[in-house]
Amino acid sequence: MQTTTLEPGNPRQHEEIAQRAAQVLRAGGLVAFPTETVYGVAASALSEEGVRRLRQFKQSDESRAFTVHIHDPKDIHRFAELTDGAARRLAMKAMPGPITLLVQVKPDVIQRCLAGLGLPPEHENRIYHHGVVGLRCPDHPLGRAVLSAGGGAVIASSANLPGERPPVDAQQAADAVKGQVELVVDGGHCQYAKPSTIVKITTEAAGEVGREEKSGGGGGVQSWAVQREGVYDMRYITKLTRYNLLMVCTGNTCRSPMAQGIARQLLAEHLGVDLEGLDREGIVVGSAGAYASAGVPATPQAVQAVAAKGVDISGHQSTALTRELVDSADVIYCMTAGHRQAVLELVPTAADKTHRVNPDADISDPIGAGEQVYRETAEAIRQSLARRLEELPL
C-alpha cells in the first residue's frame, strides 16, 4: 500500500485536504492526521473495513474501543451525557485542547447514541469499552478540518506501533505507519509534542483524587479523576473544573459584597446545597473594588440590608481589583458601566466575560443613604442576579 502525503500550503487548502481525507475514511481507509499533541491514525467507526484495519495496525483485538475524535465540543452529546457540573465545565474550558475524557455512559444512553449514529448494538465495542467512551477534540485547525469532513464517528489512536514513540511531525508519522495508511496529512510539528491528559468521569467515588459531584437529571453522584498527566497537570485540571464569579463595584464595601452574598445564596438554592456545598460543587464567588483599599469591612447598612434576606456578609473584608482576579474569573458582574470600563482598562481581553449585572441600568451607589435605599439596592441586585445566573453553564 502506498502512502500519499498531503502538505497544506495555506489555510485555504484545509477544506480540499479535509475532503480528500473524508473520502479515504468513508472508503474504509486510514488517515494519519495532526493534532496539537501527537499525530494520530484515524478510521471511520461506521466502516467495518476501517475499524478492522485500525485494529490490525495497532495490533489490538476486537474488544478494544478507540478514542472518538470530534471537531467540536458540542458533539459530545452524540456519544455521552455530561450531567455533572464539573465535567461540563472541564469540557467547555479544555476543549478543543490536549485532553481526553473517558466518560462512563449508561446503557440506555449508549443504545440511543448508537442508534443516532446508525450503528447496530453488536458494534458497540467500536466506540465503547465496558460502558466507557474516550472523547478527544484536538486544538489543531487542519486536524479539526479532517474530523469535521469525516462526519459520523471518527475513531483514532496515536500513529505508532505498540512500544514505539508517537510521531510528532508528518515525516515521523509516515515512517511509523509504513505504508499501512492511504493518506498522511501534514500539519507541521505538533505544538506540545507530548500526549494529552486523560481524565476519567465515572459514577463512582473519586477517592483521594478528584472530587465528587451531584449530577443533574437523576444521574446520581459523578466524580472525575486524572488517570494520566500529559500537557495539563492535576492542578490545572482542578482549576478548569471550577467556576469563578466576580462581583465588582467601587470600594468593595457596599454593592459588590451584597452581590457576592446574594449570589452565593441564589446559587446554593439553585444547586440544592448549603453554602459550604458550593465549594464542593466547584463554584467560587468573590468580589472586589475597582478603587478599593484592602481590609475594609462592609458598611453596617449593607450588612443589615442583606441580613434581612438571610445573607451574612458581616465578616467581609474589602479587596482591590487586580489583573489576577480578572484573569481567574469565568464571569464578571459589574454594578455600573464605569466599573466594567475599569475592568477592561486593566485587562482589555476580558470584554466577553465582563457585564453589567443589570444590562439595562447601573446599580447606583447607596453609600451615605439610609437603610431603605440599601434595602432597595440589595433587592435590585437580587433581581438582576437571579436573571443573570440562569445564563450560567453550571
Instruction: Choose, from 242, 255, 264, 340, the residue flagged as catalytic.
Output: 255
C-alpha cell at 374: 440599601
238 CB-near residues (< 8 Å, 6+ apart):
none
| Residue 4 β-bridge partners | 183
Look up residue 292 and give its DSSP letter: P
User: Catalytic annotation on 61?
Assistant: no
Instruction: Choose, from 249, 264, 340, 356, the residue flagged as catalytic.
Output: 249
Tell which residue, 173, 142, 140, has the closest CA to residue 157. 173
Instruction: Choose, from 175, 330, 362, 365, the residue flagged as catalytic.
Output: 365
What distance lies between CA 272 and its chain's CA centroid?
23
Helix axes 255-271, 300-307, angle to 10 degrees: 20
Burial of residue 95 (CB within 10 Å: 0-12, 13-18, 19+) is: buried
Burial of residue 123 (CB within 10 Å: 0-12, 13-18, 19+) is: middle
User: Catalytic annotation on 249?
Assistant: yes
Q: Give the C-alpha separation, 354 to 184, whole Å.
A: 43
| Distance (Å) of CA 339 to CA 189, 217, 321 | 44, 38, 10
Answer whether 295's CB lies under 8 Å from 253's CB.
no
Answer whether 225's CB lies under 8 Å from 200's CB.
yes
Radius of gyration of the chain (CA): 25
Residue 355's H or E segment, with its range, is strand 354-356
Q: Which residues are catalytic?
A: 249, 255, 365
